[in-house]
Chains A and B, each alone.
Chain A
Amino acid sequence: MRITFSLQRFDPERDHAPHQEEFRLDVAWRSTTVLDALIRIRQEVDPTVAFRHSCRSAICGSCSMVINGRHTLACKTLIGPEIERHGPTITVAPMRNLPVLKDLAVRMEPFWQKVRAVTPWLEQAGGASSTAQAVLTKETRSHLHNVDACILCGACVSSCSSLEVSPGFLGPAALAKAYRFVADPRDGARSRRLTMLTQPDGVWDCTRCNMCVEVCPKDVQPMEAIVRLRRAAITDGLTDTIGARHITSFTEIVRQEGRLNEGRLPAQMLWRHPAALLAQLPLAIKMFVRGKVPLPWHPPLDSIRAIRRLFGRWGTPSSWTN
Chain B
Amino acid sequence: MRYAFFPGCVAQGACPELYQSTMVVARHFGIELIELRQASCCGAGVLKEASPALALSLNARTLGMAQHRGLPLLTICGTCQGVLSSVKRELDEQSALRETINASIEQEDERYRGGLEIKHLLWAMLEDLGLDRLKAAVARPLTGLQVAPFYGCYILRPSGDLKHDDPFHPDSLEAVITALGATPIDYEGRIKCCGFPILLEKAEMAARMSGENLVDAKTHGADCLVTPCPLCHMSLDIYQQRAEQAMGRSIGLPILHFPQLVGLALGYSPKELGMARHLVSTSKVLQKIGVG
**A positions within 8 Å CB-CB of B:** 68-70, 85-86, 161-162, 164-166, 204-211, 213-214, 227, 230-231, 234, 241-243, 246-248, 250-251, 254, 258-263, 265-266, 269-270, 276, 279-280, 283, 286-287, 290-294, 301-303, 306-307, 309-311, 313-316
Asked if B169 and A69 make an inter-chain contact with CB atoms under 8 angstroms apart, the answer reads yes
CB-based contact B53/A165 at 8 Å: no
Q: Contact between A86 and B169 (Cβ–Cβ < 8 Å)? A: yes
3 smallest A-B Cβ distances: which pairs? A210-B157, A303-B38, A209-B193
Closest chain B CB from A294 CB (angstroms): 4
Contact of A251 among B47, B168, B239 (CB under 8 A): B47
Point out which of A204, A209, A301, A306 has the most chain B C-beta atoms below 10 A from its C-beta: A209
The verdict on A283 contacting B14 (CB below 8 Å), with A164-B212, A310-B104 known, is no
B205 touches A254 (CB 8 A): no
- B277 sits at the interface (CB 8 A): yes
| Residue from B13, B40, B196 within 8 A of A263 (CB atoms) | B13
**Number of A-B residue pairs having CB atoms within 8 Å of each other in the complex:** 186
Known: A242-B200, A266-B200, A306-B110. A247 touches B206 (CB 8 A): no
Inter-chain CA distance A57–B7, complex, in Å, is 46
In the bound assembly, the distance between CA atoms of A293 and B276 in angstroms comes to 15
Which residues of chain A are within 8 angstroms of B209 by Cβ–Cβ distance? 161, 164-165, 207
Determine the chain B residues whose CB is within 8 A of the CB of A161 once the complex forms.
Answer: 192-193, 195, 209
The interface bits of chain B over 154-172 (1 if a CB of A lies within 8 angstroms of the residue's CB, else 0) are 1011110000001111000
A69-B168, A250-B44, A306-B110 known; 15 other A-B pairs, CB under 8 Å? A161-B209, A162-B198, A205-B198, A207-B205, A242-B200, A254-B58, A259-B9, A270-B200, A276-B203, A287-B14, A287-B279, A290-B279, A306-B38, A309-B104, A313-B57
**Contact in complex: A314, B57 (CB < 8 Å):** yes
9 contacting pairs across A/B (C-beta < 8 A) = A69-B168, A86-B169, A209-B157, A213-B158, A234-B50, A242-B201, A250-B44, A260-B10, A313-B104
Give chain A nearest CB distance to B86 CB in angstroms: 10
Nearest neighbor of A209 in chain B, beta-carbon distance: B193
Which residue of chain B has the shortest Cβ distance to A310 in the bound complex?
A: B57
Given A207-B195, A287-B14, is A214 in contact with B239 using a C-beta cutoff of 8 Å? no
Instruction: Tell me which residues from 227 to 283 in chain B have a Cβ below 8 Å from any Cβ of chain A.
Output: 238-239, 241, 276-279
B131 within 8 A of A: no
Q: Are A250 and B47 in contact (CB under 8 A)?
A: yes
Complex interface residues of chain B between 26 and 60 (CB less than 8 A to chain A): 37-38, 40-41, 43-51, 53-54, 57-58
Cβ of B121 to closest chain A Cβ, rounded Å:
20
Known interface pairs A247-B46, A262-B13, A292-B238. Does A301 touch B168 (Cβ–Cβ under 8 Å)?
no
Residue of A nearest to B278 (CB): A290
Partner of B107, one of A68, A270, A302, A306: A306
- Report the minimal beta-carbon distance from B194 to chain A, rounded to whole angstroms: 9
Partner of A227, one of B12, B41, B48, B279: B48
User: Which of chain A's residues have a CB closer than 8 A to the CB of B37?
Assistant: 301-302
* B277 engages A309 (CB within 8 Å): no
- Please tell me which one of the listed residues A164, A208, A231 contacts residue B50 in the complex, with CB atoms under 8 A apart: A231
1/0 contact trace for B123-164 toward A, CB 8 Å? 000000000000000000000000000000110111100000
Q: Which chain B residues lie closer than 8 Å to A70 at the CB level?
A: 168
Q: How far is the CB of A317 from chain B (nearest CB, A)?
A: 8
A231 to B49, CA, bound (A): 6
On chain B, the residues within 8 Å of A286 by CB distance are 238, 279
Query: Is A292's CB under 8 angstroms from B16's CB?
Result: yes
Supposing A247-B46, A306-B61, A314-B54 touch, asked if A213 and B106 sit within 8 A by C-beta, the answer is: no
Asked whether, in the complex, the Cβ of B54 is within 8 Å of the Cβ of A310, the reply is yes
